[in-house]
Amino acid sequence: MSRVAGARSVGWEAFRLLALLSFAVFFAVPLLSMLDFSTRVVGGNGRTGQAWKNLIADETIRSSIVTSLLLALFTVVLMLVLLTPTMIWVRLRVPSASRLVEFLCLLPLTVPPLVIVVGISNVYAWVTYFLGDSALTLTFAYVVLVLPYAYRALDAALASIDVVTLSEAARSLGAGWSTVIARVVLPNIWAGVTSAAFISVALVLGEYTFASLLNFTTLPTVLALLGKSDAPTSVAGSLAALVLGAVLLLLLSFVGRRDRSSKGA
């Protein structure tokens, strides 16, 4: 009996290892290929770091990387500040509004980005008038863009805990609403918050349609242009954006985890 169970366990372990390796190869090969391509000497042999040097030396590329990273950061912050308390509040106090909030959050999925851009271009004339023509004003459009995905991640996290009972328990122990949200609900939906942030960063770093049609310069628009004249630098820029985004999210995840584990009795 135990021998059969042991054999089954070994088989399961082997399957897991194989699956893990397959996924690692699936994700690593394109990244390694990008690294390989971006360090090759065009039309010759050997390696060169010229494409990567261009990322730093070229002012347009450098500033577009900074712009896109700031856009990702601002989008994540604004999305979380708007969506997280709203969704918690709806679950706690006005559950009857949950369908409406879900409908509003998922609405951007049903409208093609091109149509949204045409629609909001007039609004952006006002945004530019009041806030200037910085590409960072795209934050508002990007928050709308990431709403459906962020909503799903947060909704799943909130559904996995009994928010009402936990918050009532905290209230009965003397916690005000801000304490309930910060110390009881948020730590228990942190995985969902991180997922929402991950997917938002990924979307913003790859977003081309809005930026291009609204005439803003971001990393995707620069890389698209560069791809026609200097492919290795374009690929190096793509890889850099991916790595920087991943580092940003790892930092976010690490800071959140450390913050939660340091609050003992």
Partner 1 sequence: MAVQDSSTTGRGSATGTGVSLVDLRRTYGTLNALDGFSLDIAPGEMVVLLGPSGCGKTTALRILAGLDRADAGEVRVGGEDITRVPANKRDMGMVFQAYSLFPHMTVRDNVAFGLRLRGQDRGRRLARSREVLDLVGLSAFEDRYAHQLSGGQQQRVALARALAVEPSVLLLDEPLSALDAKVRVQLRDEIRRVQLDVGTTTLFVTHDQEEALAVADRVGVMNAGRLEQLAPPTELYARPASRFVAEFVGLSNRVRTEVSGGKAALLGAHVPLLDGSVQDGAGHALVRPEAVQVDEGGTPNARVVAVAFLGPFSRVQARLDDGQLVTAQTSSSLAARLVQDAPVRLEVDTEAVLVVGD
Using CB under 8 A, list all residues that contact partner 1. Answer: 161-162, 165-166, 168-176, 179, 184, 187-188, 260, 263-265
136 closest CA partner among 234, 34, 190, 66: 66
Enumerate long-range contacts of 211-216, CB under 8 Å, 24 or more apart.
211/135, 211/138, 213/114, 213/117, 213/118, 213/121, 214/117, 214/121, 214/124, 214/138, 214/141, 216/135, 216/138
| Closest CB to partner 1 among residues 184, 201 | 184
For the CB of residue 263, give the shortest distance to partner 1 in the complex, in Å.
8
For the CB of residue 265, give the shortest distance to partner 1 in the complex, in Å.
4
| Closest CB to partner 1 among residues 161, 224 | 161
For the CB of residue 217, give the shortest distance to partner 1 in the complex, in Å.
42
For the CB of residue 174, give the shortest distance to partner 1 in the complex, in Å.
4
| Closest CB to partner 1 among residues 170, 241 | 170
| Closest CB to partner 1 among residues 161, 203 | 161
CA distance 260 to 32: 35
With both helix axes pointing from N to C terminus, report the angle between 231-261 and 50-57 in degrees, rounded to the nearest 10. 70
